[in-house]
Amino acid sequence: MPSTAPTRVLIIGYVWPEPRSSAAGGHMMQIIESFLQQGWHITFSSPAGVGEHKADLAALGIDEVSIALNNSSFDTFIRELAPDIVLFDRFMMEEQFGWRVEKHCPQALRVLETSDLQSLRDARHQQLKARLKHDSDPDDFSALFAPAPHAIFEHMADTDLAQRELAAIYRSDLNLMISDYEIDLLVEQFHVPNALLHLCPLMVDGVPETFVPYAQRQHFLSIGNFRHAPNWDAVLWMKTTVWPLIRQQLPDAQLHIYGAYTPPKATALHNPAQGFHVLNWAEDALAVMRQARVCLAPLRFGAGIKGKIADAMLCGTPNVTTPVGAEGMHGDLPWAGAIATSASALAAAAVELYRNEAAWLQAQTHGRALLAERYQQRVHGPALVQRIEACRADLERHRRQNFTGAMLRHHHHKSTQYMAQWIEAKNRSL
């Protein structure tokens, strides 16, 4: 009789998922939901401490296991679990645990959830720092957003972070990419084979039929985890430049900023007299988004696609952002608000959307169309499962065609194994 045992999935998380704190946490839960719909048995493990907004995985029937870095206890754990699929949440987990997975469960499909290209985000961050250091103009950042893909490659290619991240991508059997822009960058500039990549964007379960009307909404809103550097930079740019320009035209306007893990440096910016409200974590991010009239997301650097903007579209809230904020999110479809490259243009667009109900409604319609065309769970969830099953069905040939990955695994895993064993032995002697 053929085995009827469910597919066993081990997820090795960089952190425990917090879907109400970050887009990365939300995306992980969307992937998990796609697996649960197949009846797969999921074990979630992580070496990280538990955050205050952690998802209740046990309530979903998911086993939770804490694991340790550089500790052979993981070897016993994974041998006994014998997963069919191992999903690494971000490349650092593949670096730490990939060699152990391959050694003890060589037939398990190894999947990397990249979340976004961290080396791309870091390269842009370094470019922004250089721009701020050598140019005092706080308004126009159009040159920062202008580089062609080959120019971005030039900034990324020699960095340690890019080389580590690309190596992990090659070592994995399949890589989940949240943005088609990042797939194009990897394929066209870094020459990563398409066979190693799968588009898995943020996913929504349907599109609301009705939204809170324009007349019943008020205030601007910005939202994002303060531990995420692009979000903090956006708050600073709003405080110093973008928001004062908006207040010049809308003297009574208010901006409500929500974010998990709000640091003292953020609460210090709270100034009701300026209409600038730092309000810490939102218990229900969608609830506050539904009441806002315009979402501000002036991101000067970043990567991936933006959960706050997807949430805004889901709530029928037009957004104002930069080319980085909109990157990989709309293809050839009209944007659900406005995209601008300077503080003055962002402010002008925000004021126009706030005042002009017709423009506001048109942006809302564009957001509805974007969600329906590009972000449906019923499309991307099954597509992800189908791609994983196809790789599992032909795994030997799939790996043979990725010789670069095999070569990198051979050299990386040996050095990492010896380093991990040395650290473990050193820790035992302390």
Q: Identify the bridge partners of residue 5 per DSSP, sorted by sequence position.
A: none
User: CA 38, CA 53: separation in Å to the nearest integer?
Assistant: 27
DSSP 8-state assignment for residue 376: B
Q: Which amino acid is at 324?
A: V
pLDDT at 1: 41
Contact 376, 203 (CB under 8 A): yes
Element (H, E) at 221: strand 220-223
Q: Is 429 helix (H, G, I), strand (E, B) or coil?
A: helix
CA–CA distance, 171 with 163 (Å, rounded to integer): 12
**How far is 101 from 109, CA to CA, in rounded Å?**
10
Spans of the chain below 50 pLDDT: 1-2
- Residue pair 22/260 in contact by the 8 Å Cβ criterion: yes
Domains of the chain: 8-119+151-203+377-429 (3.40.50.2000), 214-374 (3.40.50.2000)
What pLDDT score does 423 carry?
A: 66
Q: What is the pTM of this model?
A: 0.93
The predicted pLDDT at position 430 comes to 66
Distance CA 186, CA 117 (A): 10
Cβ distance 68 to 428 under 8 Å?
Answer: no
Write down the residue that tokens 């697996």 correspond to.
35
DSSP characters over 55-103: ---GGGT-EEEE--TT-THHHHHHHHH--SEEEEESHHHHHHHHHHHHH
